[in-house]
Amino acid sequence: MIDRYRLVLVLAVFTGIVLARAFSGSAAPPQRSQKRSPSSSVHSARQTHVPSSISFADITRASGIDFHLTCGSPEKRFIMETMCGGVAVFDFDNDGWMDIYLVNGSTLDDVAVGKCHTGKLYRNNHDGTFADVTSKSGLNHCGWGFGVAAGDYDNDSWEDLYVTYLDGGVLYHNNHDGTFTDVTANAGVGNPGHWGTSAALGDDDNDGNLDLYVANYVDLDLDHLPQFGSGPFCQYRGIPVSCGPRGLKGGRDRLYHNNGDGTFTDITEKLNIDSENDYGLGVLWLDYDQDGCLDLYVANDSSPSRLYHNNCHGVFDEVGARAGVAFSADGRAQAGMGIDSSDYDNHGWPDIVKINFSDDTNNLYHNDHNGSFTDLAGPAGFGPVSIPYLGFGVRFIDFDNDGWPDIFVANGHVNPQVDQHSFGVTYAERPFLFKNLKNGKFDELGLRAGAALSRHYVGRGLASGDFQNRGAEDLLMTVLDASPVFGARVQMKAGNLSQTAEVRANSSFESASDSRLHFGLGTATHADEITVRWPSGRIDKIGTEDADQELIVKEGAGVVERIRRIIHSTVSK
């Protein structure tokens, strides 16, 4: 039984590794040594008005995180050198504060000589800083890492980690003492011989045990790598670049069923998952048709995306094309990267955002409430601006706590060679911040949201989390070639505002985010009603709850704990 979901009813200042934090108006970012006085730390849980401006600050250095992501050579001559950067935001020590795990890559030379670049685990010090606790954590697999999923696969109430590598995956069991143990072999989730990218944990059969989906990209032979610029699939706009994925063999994704005893069974073939061996990059569990069973959406590179409908009886039907989420609005296969889901129009149904390669528009698939989606990226003001940009990570976040999900996109091209030409496409790119205008449209604020978002990065992984438990969602973005910068559905009503969200940690690109649900209340002082539909089908209704607090809800027991949060307003006064 999964019984520990925490719902955050707060607001906040948005923060934004590049740990960046947002500040409203012209307020300067607080210095680490400064203590906030009560008068300066505005404590309204409500958003009194829409901030006239939001400014993001890069707080990576101040946070104490000193991580260098290794990912091949700067020239990116081979495809696996372009895709690193998974990040997990999770609470490994169960202290109620979000910690960070950063996956590391490698280089061909280092792989050849067995040199390791392990990932890093950072513990939250509760003061805006983090401590590197990797050395004694046991997270020490030596490989070329890509993505990570976080979740409590064995229901011991401690979050575990699954990390994807160029040659398989590793499941780390959380030992409850700050250490982890590699239990891959016993669990049977090694994904042997496959290059895993994103992974996601979700309970597909409502048995209370998290199952595991691993998106596999390309089956590579490191001894026979396709040579840079050597063929038709090694060109971009006529210039030589790294080869693939077209022309390379796609890796078949894996779906592992959790047996509830610490082991998993590979049910990929049984359920006919990814029979086309697509180039998997993004994966997301969601219940798009609200039948109480988690469905699966997979973003594939250079091939149609797939939507597997779970019929609640152990069968997954691929319905992507019929549902309108396999192709672009014009019926073309796209190069999908990161994906996320949220109810951006507060209609009560999960919508989907998918980020694509450059020279294409990103998708905003609106849930039409009938099993089908319509790509409204253009009308929403979300699509065309993305044409010269190549996005990877994407997250719905309510950065201004107005109760309407906004969208953040981590951009960065895969071919550094583009900088030698005047394509209008660059290798490093600025990220996007789309503000939800509450009318189905978004306003891209990136260039108006401070220097941190105006800078260009080669963005990859992206995760969000409330690192300071102040009711504000912060963002963590991994970048290349530089120092870094689960099934319950909850409906919350506050005044005229109704929001719906699903508990999910794994989305975006190769990343895992804070699994607590975050509801901004806009101008409301309290939530009028909260309804939780658990994976078991049980529905718990929770009455009025004040804003500015974190609720821990247990199935059948309702709210079991309330944690007051001191909130910093988005509004400078």
Positions that interact with another protein (CB under 8 A): 237-238, 321-322, 324, 327, 329-332, 361, 368, 370, 372, 376, 378-381, 383-389, 421-424, 441
- Write the CB contacts of 28 (distance below 8 Å, at least 6 apart in sequence): none
Smallest distance from another protein to CB 330, Å:
5
Which residue's structure tokens are 């805006």?
Answer: 128
Smallest distance from another protein to CB 361, Å:
8
Nearer to another protein, 132 or 444 (CB): 444
Q: Measuring CA to CA, which residue among 181, 193, 378 is closest to residue 277? A: 193
Distance CA 411, CA 358 (A): 10
Nearer to another protein, 304 or 520 (CB): 304
Nearer to another protein, 362 or 549 (CB): 362
Residue 302 φ/ψ region, left for φ over 0, alpha for ψ in the -120 to 50 degree band, beta for the rest: left
Distance CA 521, CA 464 (A): 19
Distance CA 24, CA 57 (A): 11
Nearer to another protein, 189 or 425 (CB): 425
- Write the CB contacts of 446 (distance below 8 Å, at least 6 apart in sequence): 430, 431, 432, 433, 453, 454
Smallest distance from another protein to CB 27, Å:
30
Smallest distance from another protein to CB 331, Å:
3
Nearer to another protein, 255 or 410 (CB): 410
Smallest distance from another protein to CB 327, Å:
7
Smallest distance from another protein to CB 386, Å:
6
Q: Measuring CA to CA, which residue among 562, 487, 495 is closest to residue 96? A: 562
Smallest distance from another protein to CB 322, Å:
5
Distance CA 335, CA 328 (A): 10
Nearer to another protein, 34 or 422 (CB): 422
Q: How far is CA 502 from CA 319, 333, 549, in A?
A: 21, 28, 19
Smallest distance from another protein to CB 271, Å:
21
- Write the CB contacts of 522 (distance below 8 Å, at least 6 apart in sequence): 46, 47, 401, 402, 403, 494, 495, 497
Distance CA 3, CA 23 (A): 35
Which residue's structure tokens are 């070329």?
Answer: 144
Smallest distance from another protein to CB 423, Å:
5
* Position 562, amino acid: R
Smallest distance from another protein to CB 425, Å:
9
Nearer to another protein, 239 or 559 (CB): 239
- What dihedral do alpha carbons 417, 84, 166, 181 form, nearest 10°? 160
Question: What is the number of other CB atoms lying within 10 angstroms of the CB of residue 158?
Answer: 18
Smallest distance from another protein to CB 444, Å:
10
Smallest distance from another protein to CB 373, Å:
10
Nearer to another protein, 184 or 386 (CB): 386
Nearer to another protein, 283 or 425 (CB): 425
CA 350, 3, 476, 450 torsion: positive or negative?
positive
Nearer to another protein, 87 or 326 (CB): 326
CB 11 within 8 A of CB 567: yes
Tokens describing residue 441: 């449209």
Nearer to another protein, 205 or 444 (CB): 444
Strands annotated E in 345-418 = 351-356, 363-367, 373-375, 391-397, 406-411
Q: Are strands 306-310 and 211-216 parallel, antiparallel or unpaired?
A: unpaired
Nearer to another protein, 65 or 337 (CB): 337
Nearer to another protein, 361 or 436 (CB): 361
Smallest distance from another protein to CB 307, Å:
13
State the number of CA atoms in the 13 A half-sphere of 73 facing the CB.
Answer: 9
CA 58, 62, 68, 74 torsion: positive or negative?
positive
